Chain A
């Protein structure tokens, strides 16, 4: 709901727990880097 409502660029990580920021650092860092590269400051 949150992602759709904010019109966020959304990715999903299958089988990831709430601790996804610890368990899937590559996917998390990739999304952050996408934001850094695509946004116009």
Chain B
């Protein structure tokens, strides 16, 4: 009887050890990697500019969504981004270019978002605006053209040099004439809930950027 109890104790210890080993193995492997990427364009453009990035990410096995948001208000653009996030079946990396950085800063609170990636983008703090931060770090672009109904865009003659100096002239010229006029108020709408304070972020600085001062990036 005594030897049976000893045997049972040994079995129990062995089982406990296996449980610990299993837990260690799970923590070493970690959670499954993030497979979803959501790309958010900036002002004056649409999502098609992400095509080169999209193709690389898809080739490497990622599920990529490109948000086409209307540039009519920060609220509308955040809503369009959340519409894309709500369709995901798991965590994502949320990426923003330029004004898209303000959009992901606000939309990034969403529970699907594991991390933020800023590409030459604005990352305002609570209460800050793009326009306000742009005054502290002036850019080297020429003034925007304003429409009577409150929208702005780049003079197509200035677009290649001010926005896209490292693109082939034909492509820069096409983008210049295919701009989405953007509601001026998106640049003066304060951020309310900056996700970069809560979630990890990555940032790419464009060192010859004339639209956002590289020192602001």
Contacts and interface: CB of A to CB of B under 8 A. Distances in A.
A19 B207 contact: no
A5 B165 contact: no
Interface of B is mostly: mixed
A20 B209 CA distance: 9
B53 A32 contact: yes
A13 B215 CA distance: 13
Which bracket fits the contact residues of A?
35 or more
B167 A17 contact: yes
B152 to A, nearest CB: 15
Interface of A: 1-3, 5-29, 31-37, 39-41
Which 7 residue pairs of A and B lie closest in terms of their CB atoms, listed nearest first? A25-B52, A41-B91, A3-B203, A8-B203, A18-B211, A19-B164, A29-B56
7 contacts: A9-B201, A15-B166, A18-B210, A19-B165, A19-B167, A31-B117, A35-B202
